[in-house]
Amino acid sequence: MTPEERRLVGIAWQLDRLRWVPSSVLDEIVRRDGLCFWAYCDGEPPGLVGVDTPDRELASRFCAGCPVPDECLELELRTAGEETVGVWGAMPDEDRRALYPHWLRRGERAGGPRR
């Protein structure tokens, strides 16, 4: 296993604590407490979607200080899966797509994972 694969497996493992939290609850938490949702007071999702491919540094800067990155990441993996784009959960989309199969292998989640 490469160091990068080990990193992704570790992140997938870390998300297991949210396994049985319903997606509707995750959505409520992220919308209520997510840093980017405070910054955009209209309650709309952030705009870092579909322009240029975000990199790790941008994702890290964008989400720095957010109290709910794990909830955000878990929700995005459940709802968008491999089609995820932009910055969510302090990760760029390329990293989330690489994470997705490792996350799927962790097993069942509340509501079932997207396939």
CB 103 within 8 A of CB 12: yes
Q: Which of 5-13, 17-25, 61-69, 103-111 is the region at the interface with ligand SF4 (rule: CB under 6 A)?
A: 61-69
Kindly tell me which of 69 and 102 has the beta carbon lying closer to ligand SF4. 69
Query: How far is residue 99 from each of residues 1, 23, 47, 53, 113, measured CA to CA in Å?
Result: 14, 19, 22, 17, 14
Q: Which residue has the tokens 């969510």?
A: 88
Please select the residue that binds ligand SF4; options are 11, 15, 63, 99, rule is CB under 6 A: 63
35 scored as a contact of ligand SF4 (CB under 6 A): yes
54 scored as a contact of ligand SF4 (CB under 6 A): no
- In the complex, minimum distance from the CB of residue 107 to ligand SF4, in angstroms, rounded to a whole number: 23
Q: Of 3, 2, 10, 34, which Cα lies nearest the Cα of 103?
A: 10
- 91 strand-pairing partners: 88
Binding residues for ligand SF4, rule: CB under 6 A, are 30, 34-36, 46, 62-63, 66, 68-69, 72, 87-90
